Structure 1
């Protein structure tokens, strides 16, 4: 059976690429995006990278398992791949002397290391997990109340567990939401906290908002991406250093396709990581367009840590003519993907506004094939929303 399996794998790679960026969970890394996706994120993230060659049989066997690893652990780690046939210089710069090779890039100052264990998802994740920093606070009967009351504007996340260790995905979440939320872990013997929150079964994750003593229970699968999305909704409704600001005063935080205007710009685009997917419209988006944006967000959200994150929004063409003029040839119903910063630039979506076409443009950007156009000069001030003028 093992020989047959190897034969089938080899036959499959003769028909298709080992990694297809349109259907895999891995980051497709190139000379253009390696530093951004791996090196510059070594402040707190662990990257696991597979260096391979397309027609190499050992590479093919490892790629099958590495795809499983990415499906399960992308987000907890940055899981990427480099094709050493097409990016020989990058492989050489990373001291790849033989392929296939798996390298682990831990947070600085730990050195990059060659992984030499079994190329299975379980073994790789167990090895790489040792390098994940933790911002999780161990809670007890004596300190849990202090934890809850500290900085009341910041939400608290509590994991109730029977296990003695800190789960890998929970450590990764504490890093992802550092400075936005506090993470604590409560063991089975810490009965005071268990009694306070009426915990009847383990594991259990709750979110506690000190300012109103409100508790929200997580009811989804114990998987990184599901928990991340749940926490992300709650983290965005808080203003740090002050009091809670609800979605009733910042409606754009919870809208699927909010309007980009002077009040919302920082929250949904200017001060956020990733791309701003901006629809240029003569009137608010239709339900059909909102559903397309939602569905596209859900699709890319499943593989959110592949390298590109997108928040969709819309601009009123008539109210913000000066802003719109910064984008060459823009008109009604057009979509651009803006990367805002000191050197703002954008990619124009040339296809129809359908899920498949928009996803294809995002995939091109992710793979390094998207052609960015630089914005000349700074952006003019956006208009206020009509209700605030």
Structure 2
């Protein structure tokens, strides 16, 4: 019995000093030789750990305590957050190569090495979050009207998550962390406020909004009061389910077909790689194509006009017809562009093409403006448009590669 007690005291380091964190009063975990390896060094494949190494006898040892407690409370679940007193547990600090205190060490997933934060400029919650958060990888996909259907229907065994956000760019940190931590069980999509048609489809009236879509049943909307990590994690955990692809021996996370680069932009370029996904092999599709001399004519202003028209017409589905918007670089696809018989001086020009069994097209007459294009599409929906047959009822083969960013 005495020997057992001696061994336990040795493992616990004697706990002779007064620790600056208390279990009952903080969300900071207290690590000892009994739990450090299990919780931190042998657990790196399951998330990111942040550890404050200190000596309780150091002058100013408690200076960082409040900031670190705030960081732990604000980021509960996002990181594993703990502390080690190097006076009580010197062996842990020696093994982790802690040569001075205080030290704040981040343990990212392998193979990334551990990182020590520079504490010269202070130790506040936002700085720690920024430093540790670098190791989260965004696993979400930008969702537009172009790739939404592919995203929700691809791999039906995996539920999909849609975040509707009014952020103009980037991914909110909490969502980025969730997308990595649920990587094997959920697919994450990000929908910008500009995607009006998708917002209407999911009855989103305020931002942010979070929706889970499964292969069966109605979409499930998160109705929590807080848009923070822990409550959203708990909500998603209920709807998460493991998807195992029997064809993948290593059972790594499967990539959604919706992540193809031409499906994540509002008005993509038609190439050999992208053409079928964008429009050419979609059922009931009418391809609204900006035929341009080169990339310079496919300016962001012109593409934004097309996107705005597309958002307005997404809900005007008639007789199974859907409009898909894209642009064609005639300098890269001269043979395909020749289908429409357009002289170079007439470019850029809007063409509406039916790529179905009876391949036909019509030219948009008039200026490239929202009102002008809408007028042409309204004619089509009203049955008043005249299409011209594609010669030989066969489209030339696309040959260009989708541009690498």
Normalised TM-score (structure 2): 0.53
Q: Confirm or deny that 1:228 pairs with 2:239.
A: no
C-alpha deviation, 1:210, in angstroms: 2.3
Q: Confirm or deny that 1:40 pairs with 2:51.
A: no
Q: Confirm or deny that 1:147 pairs with 2:172.
A: no
Alignment match, 1:218: 223
Corresponding residue SS for 2:156: coil
Alignment match, 1:311: none
- Maintained 8 Å contact 1:50/1:103: yes
Alignment match, 2:84: 82
The residue correspondences of 1:31-180 to structure 2 (distance < 5 A) are 31-117=33-119, 118-163=122-167, 164-180=169-185
Corresponding residue SS for 1:123: helix
CA distance in structure 2 between the partners assigned to 1:158 and 1:131 by the alignment: 23
CA distance in structure 2 between the partners assigned to 1:16 and 1:111 by the alignment: 31
- Maintained 8 Å contact 1:139/1:184: yes
C-alpha deviation, 1:48, in angstroms: 1.1
C-alpha deviation, 1:139, in angstroms: 1.3
- Maintained 8 Å contact 1:105/1:113: yes
C-alpha deviation, 1:44, in angstroms: 5.0
- Maintained 8 Å contact 2:211/2:219: no
- Maintained 8 Å contact 1:45/1:78: yes
Structure 1 unaligned blocks of 5 or more: 1-14, 243-389
Over aligned residues, Cα RMSD in angstroms? 2.1
CA distance in structure 1 between the partners assigned to 2:92 and 2:242 by the alignment: 41
CA distance in structure 2 between the partners assigned to 1:155 and 1:233 by the alignment: 11
Pick which of 15-24 and 171-180 moved more: 15-24
Alignment match, 1:190: 195
The residue correspondences of 1:1-389 to structure 2 (distance < 5 A) are 17-117=19-119, 118-163=122-167, 164-235=169-240, 238=241, 240=243
- Maintained 8 Å contact 1:152/1:211: no
CA distance in structure 2 between the partners assigned to 1:19 and 1:210 by the alignment: 47
C-alpha deviation, 1:199, in angstroms: 1.4
C-alpha deviation, 1:156, in angstroms: 1.3
Alignment match, 2:290: none
- Maintained 8 Å contact 1:206/1:218: no
C-alpha deviation, 1:64, in angstroms: 1.9
Q: Deviations over 1:331-387 (max 9, x none)?
A: xxxxxxxxxxxxxxxxxxxxxxxxxxxxxxxxxxxxxxxxxxxxxxxxxxxxxxxxx
Corresponding residue SS for 1:58: coil
C-alpha deviation, 1:109, in angstroms: 1.6
Number of aligned residues: 226
- Maintained 8 Å contact 2:137/2:180: yes
C-alpha deviation, 1:152, in angstroms: 2.0
- Maintained 8 Å contact 1:161/1:202: yes
Structure 2 unaligned blocks of 5 or more: 1-16, 246-405
C-alpha deviation, 1:16, in angstroms: 6.3
Higher CA-based Rg: 2
CA distance in structure 2 between the partners assigned to 1:239 and 1:211 by the alignment: 16
CA distance in structure 1 between the partners assigned to 2:94 and 2:209 by the alignment: 46
Corresponding residue SS for 1:61: coil
C-alpha deviation, 1:214, in angstroms: 3.1
Alignment match, 2:347: none
Q: Deviations over 1:106-161 (max 9, x none)?
A: 12222211101431001110111111123212212211211111222322111111
The structure-2 alpha-carbon separation of the partners of 1:90 and 1:16, relative to structure 1 and needing over 3 Å to count, comes to closer
The structure-2 alpha-carbon separation of the partners of 1:185 and 1:85, relative to structure 1 and needing over 3 Å to count, comes to same
Corresponding residue SS for 2:197: helix
Alignment match, 1:347: none
Normalised TM-score (structure 1): 0.55
